[in-house]
């Protein structure tokens, strides 16, 4: 059974070109599934797995208090794995067929107000770390990049004279995103006064580096974001995606085309982007209730 899993992970890496983070997510999901089939169902061959076995695993996840979104994601991983096994003729049937996906609660993403964004982007200080932090935050809000995409940027991905940045997103899909003047200025300051001081004599292509001159990690960025928020007095709960959500919502509030926002965010399905239109409507209702005299 393990050999089949290893082949599947190799397929995701080589043929599908998925990112290491996505591969790790599949591994976590399917390793749970694998151990359940061995330990709870006493199975040693994927061809012996039935629909009833898969349903028992789903019930076990529910009993452990897994959210509908988590169960839906794990079921999606299981389906893709069994489709792979059938296609590769490892098995002749797919036991995950016709199993209903749990309905996910669609939570609206949390966004910052324009005032909070202004606070967050008002990073003071002129030392190399300050210029880096200001450039990163301006870049995120200007482009809507995912944090993993931000920390993966190379210096060569910047095209400042043309005013855009090149990004490789999920599935190694390339997209070109415009940069605003304020983001360009912040990045130019970082390149002129910050990055060389951090990199010192190291030879590296990474755009954003830590104080050792090495590539900044997602966790490192998350710590920086929380520290900056504390410093400037932004008390609203933040996640690594908050500036991405704010970027999309503020664009739509100001009349941007939904398809253009979809392209900049790198969403393959426009229904994913449409959640931000709901955020905009909710914010308009809040403003109306707060300020209309007869609300």
Find the mean pLDDT for residues 100-125. Answer: 80
Question: Taking the CA atoms of the chain, what radius of gyration do you get in angstroms?
Answer: 23
| Nearest partner of 158 among 122, 113, 208, judged by Cα | 208
What does 181-215 look like in DSSP terms, one character per residue?
Answer: HHHHHHHHHHHHHTHHHHHTT----BSSB-TTSSB
Task: Characterize 96-130 residue by residue with b for buried, 16 or more Cβ atoms within 10 angstroms of its Cβ, and e for exposed.
Answer: beeeeebeeeeeebebbeeebbebbbebeeeebeb
Judge contact between 183 and 248, C-beta under 8 A: no
Question: 147-160, pLDDT tens digit by residue?
Answer: 999 999 999 999 99
Q: State the Cα–Cα distance between residues 285 and 150, nearest whole angstrom.
A: 33
- Reference 191, options 220, 161, 221; nearest CA is 161
- Looking up tokens 């190399």 gives 128
**Residue with the larger pLDDT of the pair 171 and 93:** 93
pLDDT at residue 290, rounded to an integer: 58
Tokens, residue 161:
């004279």
The pLDDT assigned to 295 comes to 44
Positions marked active-site: 146, 170, 241, 244, 267, 276
User: pLDDT for 41-82, tens place per residue?
Assistant: 999 899 999 999 999 999 999 889 888 888 889 999 999 999
The first and second tokens of residue 213, run together, are 């001159």
* Residue % of the chain over a pLDDT of 70: 92
CA 29 to chain centre: 18
Q: Give SS3 for 194.
A: coil
3-state secondary structure of 124: coil
User: Is the distance from CB of 176 to CB of 200 less than 8 angstroms?
Assistant: no
CA 214/CA 232 separation, integer angstroms = 27
Residue 165's pLDDT band, with cuts at 50, 70 and 90, is very high
CB 208, CB 150: distance < 8 Å: yes
Task: Output the average pLDDT for the chain.
Answer: 87
Lookup result for tokens 């500036």 = 243
Domains and CATH numbers, the chain: 2-87 (1.10.150), 114-291 (1.10.443.10)
- Helix axis angle for 20-39 and 51-63, nearest 10°, is 110
In the predicted model, what is the mean pLDDT of residues 95-119?
A: 81
Question: Angle at the Cα of 277 (from 273 to 280), degrees rounded to 5?
Answer: 135
Query: How far lies 242's CA from each of 2, 3, 111, 197, in Å?
Result: 38, 40, 6, 29
Q: Rounded distance, CA 75 to CA 55, Å?
A: 10
């Amino acid at each position: 059974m393990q050999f089949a899993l290893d082949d599947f992970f190799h397929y995701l890496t080589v043929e599908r070109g998925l990112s290491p983070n996505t591969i790790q997510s599949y591994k976590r999901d399917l390793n749970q599934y694998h151990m359940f089939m061995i330990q709870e169902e006493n199975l040693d061959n994927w061809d012996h797995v039935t629909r009833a076995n898969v349903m028992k695993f789903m019930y076990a996840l529910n009993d452990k208090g897994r959210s509908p979104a988590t169960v839906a994601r794990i079921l999606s991983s299981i389906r893709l794995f069994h489709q792979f096994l059938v296609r590769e003729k490892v098995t002749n049937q797919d036991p995950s067929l016709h199993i209903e996906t749990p309905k996910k609660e669609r939570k609206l993403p949390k966004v910052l107000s324009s005032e909070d964004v202004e606070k967050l982007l008002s990073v003071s200080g002129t030392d190399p770390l300050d210029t880096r932090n200001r450039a990163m935050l301006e870049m995120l809000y200007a482009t809507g990049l995912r944090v993993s995409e931000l920390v993966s940027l190379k210096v060569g991905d910047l095209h400042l004279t043309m005013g855009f940045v090149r990004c490789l997103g999920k599935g190694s899909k390339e997209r070109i995103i415009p940069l605003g003047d304020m983001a360009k200025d912040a990045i130019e300051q970082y390149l002129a006064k910050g990055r060389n001081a951090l990199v010192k004599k190291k030879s590296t292509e990474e755009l954003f580096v830590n104080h050792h001159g090495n590539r900044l990690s997602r966790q490192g960025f998350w710590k920086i974001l929380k520290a900056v928020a504390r410093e400037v007095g932004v008390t609203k709960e933040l996640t690594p995606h908050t500036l991405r959500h704010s970027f999309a919502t503020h664009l739509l509030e100001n009349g941007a085309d939904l398809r253009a926002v979809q392209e900049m965010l790198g969403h393959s399905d426009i229904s994913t982007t449409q959640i931000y239109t709901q955020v905009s409507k909710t914010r308009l209702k809040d403003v109306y209730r707060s300020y209309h005299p007869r609300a």
